[in-house]
Amino acid sequence: MDIKIIKNPAPSQKPDEESLGFGLTYTDHMFIMDFNKTQGWHDARIVPFGPLALHPAAVVLHYGAEVFEGLKAYRGADGTVRMFRPVDNIRRMNASAERLCLPLLDEKDAMQALEEFVRLEQDFVPHKDGTSLYIRPFMIATEPNLGLHGINEASFIIIASPSGSYYKEGIAPVSIMIETEDVRAVKGGTGYAKCGGNYAASTRAGERAEKLGFSQVLWLDGVERRYIEEVGSMNVMFKISGRIVTPDLIGTVLPGITRRSIIELLRDENYEVEERRISVDEIIEALENGELEEAFGCGTAAVVSPIGKLVFNGREYVINNNEIGSLTGHLYETLTGIQWGRLEDKKGWTYRV
Ligand code: PLP
Ligand code: COI
């Protein structure tokens, strides 16, 4: 694929690495390519970062036809820039696109786009410990059409944001509220897809939880409201009597790349990992009888985040004295060790740019 590059004539100052936050500043360029039914994907280009021009009747603005991904580029101690399992993100984006009837990407072309874009923006990959360049590929339906029909025109865009930790707590334990009113997903819906609509519909519960002092909500299943699903921006795992349990992927939960990596790391270390339905009653019982040893969320933005407090129906349960558990800490160190190149990548998960 030929990618045309138009350099930004006014490069910006790099942001202060001490106060990056998450997703607040952007690099100087963005990748764009367009799709229509006659030409397929075409006009791949990297252009100066800036606003997009969209027809006011563009399908994405009315019917939410959008999917996205999130991955990171890390600067190793040796200065090398690496992405983590980027092909998995492209594959998941195609699975999401298929669900929303958006056009699929050619895996090789999408990887080339990611690589050329990150190479051009590599000076934006921050150096400070715990920081990275958060990469956000996304796809939108662009054709003007207020009728509800199939999608004929789309754009695939990549932007990136030098970022620090997702939660203000950093790697410190977060407090999570188990949501009992709103639901996020049902079987047959879009739970497994990474589409903007899932997050839009989650905002109300998230805001209510934040007002009460919680970082995010833990979703229950949409039918019985009884089984644990995932947290707003991360999959969730519990250590109960030495075993790790995590909800299985039945179409309602995002198949996290961090989740998959952690399960593999745990099994390599001979931990028993159970992917299955977990009722909230089981978790509460394990909390009450002291069998719930650790709980954590995992995701690209969230990395490995210890859960220090869980609230259910107004009752607060403290996990592991609201401290980082030893397994949680170990997983954080192992995963970030591979990502930042401090540990040998025996799995071939990192992709040098
Ligand atoms: N679940 C949700 C709802 C998410 O938004 C994310 C973040 O991408 C995850 C789980 C974790 O997925 P991954 O590890 O691929 O980032
Ligand atoms: C990610 O971890 O990449 C996500 O997309 C979560 C997002 C809500 C920040």
Share of the chain above pLDDT 70, in %: 99
Instruction: Output the CA 346–ligand 1 centroid distance in Å.
Output: 23
Residue 140's DSSP bridge partners are 66, 155
Instruction: Output the CA 285–ligand 2 centroid distance in Å.
Output: 30
Q: Which atom of ligand 1 is nearest to the CA of 69?
A: 8
The first and second tokens of residue 173, run together, are: 């334990």
Instruction: Provide the pLDDT for residue 230.
Output: 97
Ligand found nearest the CA of 237: 1
- Cα–Cα–Cα angle for 176, 182, 183, nearest 5°? 90
H helix runs in 246-325, sequence order = 257-268, 280-288
Average pLDDT (136-144) is 98
Query: For residues 159 and 99, is the Cβ–Cβ distance under 8 A?
Result: no
Instruction: Output the CA 233–ligand 2 centroid distance in Å.
Output: 5
For ligand 2, atom 7, which residue shows the shortest CA distance?
A: 233
For ligand 1, atom 2, which residue shows the shortest CA distance?
A: 233
Instruction: Output the CA 147–ligand 2 centroid distance in Å.
Output: 31
Sequence-distant (≥ 6) Cβ neighbours of residue 56 within 8 angstroms: 144
The first and second tokens of residue 280, run together, are: 């909230």
Half-sphere exposure at residue 263, Cβ-oriented, CA atoms within 13 angstroms: 19
Residues in the chain: 353
Other beta carbons within 10 angstroms of residue 204's beta carbon come to: 13
pLDDT of 78-115, one tens digit each? 889 999 999 999 999 999 999 999 999 999 999 999 99
> Of 130, 170, 172, 136, which Cα lies nearest the Cα of 17?
130
Instruction: Output the CA 299–ligand 2 centroid distance in Å.
Output: 7
The model's confidence at residue 341, banded by pLDDT at 50, 70 and 90, is very high
Instruction: Provide the pLDDT for residue 143.
Output: 96
Sequence-distant (≥ 6) Cβ neighbours of residue 88 within 8 angstroms: 257, 260
Query: For residues 150 and 63, is the Cβ–Cβ distance under 8 A?
Result: no
Instruction: Output the CA 248–ligand 1 centroid distance in Å.
Output: 14
Q: Which atom of ligand 2 is nearest to the CA of 70?
A: 3
pLDDT of 116 above 80: yes
pLDDT of 10-53, one tens digit each? 999 999 999 899 999 999 999 999 999 999 999 999 999 999 99
> Of 123, 124, 113, which Cα lies nearest the Cα of 86?
113
Helix 326-339 × helix 257-268 angle, to 10°: 110
Mean pLDDT score of the chain = 96
Ligand found nearest the CA of 218: 1
Pocket test for ligand 1, best of 300, 305, 339 (most atoms within 8 A of CB): 300
Euclidean distance between the first and the last CA atom of the chain, given in angstroms as a whole number: 18
Q: Which atom of ligand 1 is nearest to the CA of 257?
A: 15
For ligand 1, atom 9, which residue shows the shortest CA distance?
A: 234
Amino acid letter for position 59: V
Instruction: Provide the pLDDT for residue 148.
Output: 86
Query: For residues 220 and 229, is the Cβ–Cβ distance under 8 A?
Result: yes
Residue 251's DSSP bridge partners are none
- Backbone phi, psi, residue 267, to 5°: -65, -35
Sequence-distant (≥ 6) Cβ neighbours of residue 192 within 8 angstroms: 95, 99, 185, 249, 251, 252, 253, 254, 255
Query: How far is it, in rounded angstroms, from Cα 264 to Cα 129?
Result: 25
Q: Is the dihedral of CA 7, 81, 41, 193 positive or negative?
A: negative
Query: For residues 15 and 25, is the Cβ–Cβ distance under 8 A?
Result: yes
Instruction: Provide the pLDDT for residue 166.
Output: 83
Pocket test for ligand 2, best of 174, 253, 300 (most atoms within 8 A of CB): 300
Instruction: Output the CA 305–ligand 1 centroid distance in Å.
Output: 12
> Of 174, 168, 199, 164, which Cα lies nearest the Cα of 297?
174
Ligand 2 within 6 A of CB of 299: yes
For ligand 2, atom 8, which residue shows the shortest CA distance?
A: 233
pLDDT of 246-279, one tens digit each? 999 999 999 999 999 999 999 999 999 999 999 9
Torsion of CA 114, 165, 325, 85, to 10 degrees: 0
Amino acid letter for position 211: K
Instruction: Output the CA 71–ligand 1 centroid distance in Å.
Output: 10
pLDDT of 342-353, one tens digit each? 999 999 999 999
In which element (H, E) is residue 48 found?
strand 40-48
Instruction: Provide the pLDDT for residue 169.
Output: 66
Instruction: Output the CA 39–ligand 2 centroid distance in Å.
Output: 32
User: In the structure, how many helices (H) and strands (E) does the chain have?
Assistant: 8, 18
Q: Is 161 helix (H, G, I), strand (E, B) or coil?
A: strand
Other beta carbons within 10 angstroms of residue 169's beta carbon come to: 14
Half-sphere exposure at residue 198, Cβ-oriented, CA atoms within 13 angstroms: 25
Pocket test for ligand 2, best of 230, 233, 304 (most atoms within 8 A of CB): 233
Ligand 2 within 6 A of CB of 233: yes
Sequence-distant (≥ 6) Cβ neighbours of residue 16 within 8 angstroms: none
DSSP state of 128: S
In which element (H, E) is residue 240 found?
strand 235-240
Instruction: Output the CA 339–ligand 1 centroid distance in Å.
Output: 17
Ligand found nearest the CA of 191: 1
